[in-house]
Amino acid sequence: MSPRPDPGRPDPDALLARAAREGRGRFKIFLGAAPGVGKTFEMLAEAERRYAAGDDVVIGIVETHGRAETTARIGDLPVLPRARLEHRGQVLEEFDLDAALARRPAILLLDELAHSNAPGSRHPKRWQDVEELRAANIEVWATMNVQHLESAAEAVARITGVRVAETVPDQVLSSADAVELIDIPPAELLERMRQGKVYRADQAERALQGFFREGNLAALRELALRRTAEHVDADVTGYMRAHAIEGPWPSGDRVMALIGTDAAAEGVVRAARRIADALKAPLVALHVERPDSAGDAGAALRLAEQLGAAIVVVVATDLPSAILDTARTRNVTHLVVGRGRPPAWRRLLGRTLSAALLREGSDFALHLVPDPATGPRPPPPAIRPLPAWLPWVTPPLLVAAATLVGLSLDGLVPDAGIGMVYLVPIVAAAVGFGPLHGLATAVLAFLAWNFLFLPPRYTFTIGGPQDVVGVVVFALVALLLGGTTGGLGRSVRAARARLAGLRRLVEFSRRLGATAGSGDLLDAIAQEAARIAGCPACMLMPLPPAPGETAPEPVLRASAPLDAEPDEASMAAARWAMAQGRATGQGTDTLPAAAWQFRPLRTVQGEGAAVLGLLGLRPNEPLGTEASATLTALIDQASVALERAQLVEERARGAARAETEQLRTALLTSLGHDLKTPLTSIRGALETLATPNLPPATRDDLVAAASEEAARLGRYIANILDIVRLEGGQVEPRREPTDVAAAIEAAVARVGGRAILRDIAPGLPPPRLDPVLLDQILGNLIDNAVKFSGPDGKVAISARREGPEVAIAVEDDGPGIPPGDLHRVFDPFFRATRTDRVAAGTGLGLAISRGLAHAMGGRIAAESPIAQGRGARVTVRFPT
């Protein structure tokens, strides 16, 4: 809440925000939509230019990821030595914060802002290191991708299917002094991937099939552009408020809802939210308190806050001035206000709020929200056709009215001048009813003028030569006016009908473009055809012919109204139209006795192409020329849209079949390779056991081996059943406080003959989990680590508290996971090239762990390498 700003005076809050930045080091973020767009390369290029100009630029930490271009770009830039931290017998390299503070360069470069620091560092996150560096008045440049923003993580997970483990609070991006968007088109980034400039060739191929799809990259690019635009908009608004500049500046849209104390206030908030969402613009909610106001706007303000609006409350007596001043200060472009029900005298004098805003705020777009209390207006009454007798009764009445006018002017106007009065009913009749009625009115007008006003009066005799000329001229003018005006009126009515038909077609085209499925499309076609033809309409679609039949059977799919349905006799005409591809039924040359008329919808290839469907009409009278032409244009558009919808559905079915086939192939491959080994071992043991005179020790070894392989086979089958249950949504956790330390000890105890290091922090809070599902997660993670660490490798499990979560990490010192596969290791049946090829398994353990963790409200992530280019760590986190 803020008081009303004084015009011409800088905003105090904006000045305080600028002053707070003065005592800190500048912060610049190079923001990208995805890895590989060139953030680090551009940061190094700009740093090299500043270094060549004499600035003290130091690289704090830069991750080249083996890219030759990035490594070469470092050049002569000084690099800060990395700190070496020992953790569980391993030496980890990390950014040296203390060395950077001691060195105090003018500009410090930090790559990967969302990076989690190694255990033993001062801060758990790199962005927290940036905060300390800025507090020491050191300018920091950093890089990050948009998917690492905390508020964008959920949207990125929905877009790409990959949940980002390392995130940065949105406040970090908002606090940056500059944000530079590093943007390249998705096609160019994909080409860089194929050329091996982002990942190695084998990793790039897998990445192109997963995270780096063109649709994913386009969505992430839009997200990065929008976040950058929001940051720029905030900078513009802050600058305007700090320098007392009145807006709005046309740099971006911003919507402001004007909240009153009436019942329509909440409707105004919801309408403003919809407008802001459509414009992808920020929303501000303004309430002006007046001394004479007794209402309460608390409910509407709370609703606005829930919908994400920035709340502003000012105190003023002049409502329009307070609104416009605040709108200009906030750089608002759209005002949303309720229509209200002001008194009649205010509406007449233009003293309503909306009228004042229209008059004084010409630089804003004004949106009026209807008052919900009034409800929808009743539809206007239908226009009935004129009675047949009215066009013939009206001309005498018009002539009689002109006669009364002439009698009132008799003696004041010459007799010839009174004849001009009779031209008015002639034009009116011709425009209103047509040229024939105009001619009839001209005859009546001539007779009345001659009888009543031309000498000798009260006779049809013409007295003098000049009267003869006047009568002839009048007659010619009257006839020409009647004929020309009547034809012009008919042309105007025809043009209006064509324009209305064209507008309907344009609107129909938009509806076709917005319709997603073929069902909605058929409903839209039937409803529009019924409107144009003014009669019931339906859509018939072909059903594949039954065995022994050659022609498809038409089936009713949509109708307007809903109860409109062709009779059996009409369906015979529909079958002929479907088979021959020609119009049949009422009003055609084929089966004209049918009550319905059917017009085929063909594919765009021409007459010989297949029939997509039939449009059925049941007209009460023959269709006019304009209606028939409009229906033909509608059928052409509907054919294109229907063919497009069928192609889209066929493509979707093809994609689903391909995905199903891929999953089935993976399952069969897994079963073929991974179940063959235990079955072979069991069969060999059984055949050897059948050998007579077998020593008891050998017999015991064979039985133990067969039992072990049978247990292994049982685990494979159980994993397959578990993944089916997870994907079918059949897992319902039974939550209860769970001792994490005891669960870890129980899982470790089942691993026989292998030492596992444990590091469990004391006093861990017990999260509410399903103990059985947690035990299954831990068992899968430990089994995975043991399998890939080798017989002599090290496996460690740790548990600690991280803020509001309990984190359980299982790590090994095996060959690790390629960086390009980190986002796919939790997919069913996926097995990384460098690791899963050296050990047997179905590739389901991590997928099951992810599914069970998500079912209990947790999250899981993988990291690799973790030390000296080797090892992997899988961390599962649960809320406390």
CATH number at residue 331: 3.40.50.620
Are 469 and 535 in a shared domain?
A: no
pLDDT at 512: 63
In a domain, 507, yes or no: no
Residues with Cβ within 8 Å of residue 246, at least 6 apart in sequence: 7, 240, 328, 329
Q: Is 678 exposed, middle or buried (0-12, 13-18, 19+ CB in 10 A)?
A: buried
DSSP-assigned letter for residue 95: -
CATH value at residue 854: 3.30.565.10
In a domain, 510, yes or no: no
Are 259 and 301 in a shared domain?
A: yes
- Domain range for 321 is 255-369
> In 3D, which of 533, 518, 610, 602 has the Cα closest to residue 564?
533
Are 24 and 98 in a shared domain?
A: yes
CATH value at residue 588: 3.30.450.40
Are 306 and 420 in a shared domain?
A: no
pLDDT at 195: 67
Are 417 and 529 in a shared domain?
A: no
Residues with Cβ within 8 Å of residue 606, at least 6 apart in sequence: none
Are 199 and 171 in a shared domain?
A: yes
Radius of gyration of the chain (CA): 41
Strand partners of residue 757: 796
Q: Which two tokens stand for residue 151?
A: 């508020």
Are 325 and 457 in a shared domain?
A: no
Are 858 and 766 in a shared domain?
A: yes
Torsion of CA 781, 800, 820, 847, to 10 degrees: 30
Are 141 and 194 in a shared domain?
A: yes
3-class DSSP assignment, residue 413: strand
Q: Is 803 exposed, middle or buried (0-12, 13-18, 19+ CB in 10 A)?
A: exposed
In a domain, 150, yes or no: yes
The number of folded domains in the chain is: 6
Which residues in the chain show pLDDT less than 50? 1-5, 7, 244, 374-376, 378-383, 606-607, 833-838
Q: Are 165 and 859 in contact (CB under 8 A)?
A: yes
Sheet containing 795-802, strands listed edge to edge, beginning at the edge strand earlier in sequence: 757-760, 795-802, 805-812, 872-879, 859-863
Rounded to whole angstroms, the Cα distance separating 43 from 46 reads 5
Residues with Cβ within 8 Å of residue 696, at least 6 apart in sequence: none
In degrees and rounded to multiples of 5, residue 496 shows phi and psi of -60, -40
**C-alpha dihedral sign at 245, 248, 253, 255:** positive
Q: Which two tokens stand for residue 691?
A: 């050998």
- DSSP secondary structure letters along 280-341: T--EEEEEEE-TT-----HHHHHHHHHTTPEEEEEE-S-HHHHHHHHHHHTT--EEEEE---
In a domain, 2, yes or no: no
Q: Are 539 and 522 in contact (CB under 8 A)?
A: yes
Are 351 and 456 in a shared domain?
A: no
Q: Which two tokens stand for residue 515?
A: 């319709």
Q: Are 776 and 733 in contact (CB under 8 A)?
A: no
3-class DSSP assignment, residue 799: strand
Half-sphere exposure (Cβ direction) of 495: Cα atoms closer than 13 Å: 6
In a domain, 596, yes or no: yes
Q: Which two tokens stand for residue 478?
A: 């009257």
Q: Which two tokens stand for residue 142?
A: 């950093």
Strand partners of residue 336: 257, 367
In a domain, 671, yes or no: no
